[in-house]
Structure 1
């Protein structure tokens, strides 16, 4: 009963890697493919992508459908204000890059959202317990703690010092 899409990394590692972004090809309605960059925002509440110098944002709570096929990720949203309608199609350079990104988005997407990998529905997302997962090949339960948070990785500097991706022990949410 383990939720897993990516063969190489745990879901938590995929989430942290998606913060740095990936180069993709963005498919428009006219089937033209343009270069784009996609990344998970540091607040972990939205997905952003840049096409032709314009930044677009997709709130994760609006996702109702995630599908992958080989290197392609299709996202269907409830919000019609997304450029190109409610659908977004991204082509990654490799299958592994696509798996990393879809695992990260599936980890944060609402449980009602349908997630499919190469036509097979991904089940057991609701039973995923990040405290029983690994991060950098070490159990998360053994990582450094700060109050009710497990510190996973530093992602930059803020006004008060280092900024970390952290996991709340009781809520099982990532901050």
Structure 2
């Protein structure tokens, strides 16, 4: 099967067999993709690796659980997530997204924005947390969660999709 990465790696065109993506959250800095290296100046935390799992064809990894302010919610035992630069929100199975909406309790009028918890995903034994400004769209006094229901049918699903809010943070 054709893969740009396998072609570049096979041709010894890369310093390392990897690529990295930086999605800027500001117009002052350009987003970019880097082949063969990681630009450490764009890293917000220490780099760590987790194995790609599944056969969906996505860049997919295992989620051990979901947390709020570091506390496990026991919502995921065998959850998987695909990382997707083309998805504008965080997406997941309808039942789990409904539970997260209830747990987070974001007020549409933003009255509780300052007290919202960190939303975390345990991946590779580490909690990757999003602050409220990462997972809530706040504009003109209106707050909307950057979460949407997406039911990917088996065998590719159920599956979470981490889009731009997650990628801008990590």
Structure having the higher strand fraction is 1
TM-score range, shorter chain: under 0.3
1 or 2 for the larger relative contact order (CA 8 Å, sep ≥6)? Answer: 2
Larger Rg: 2
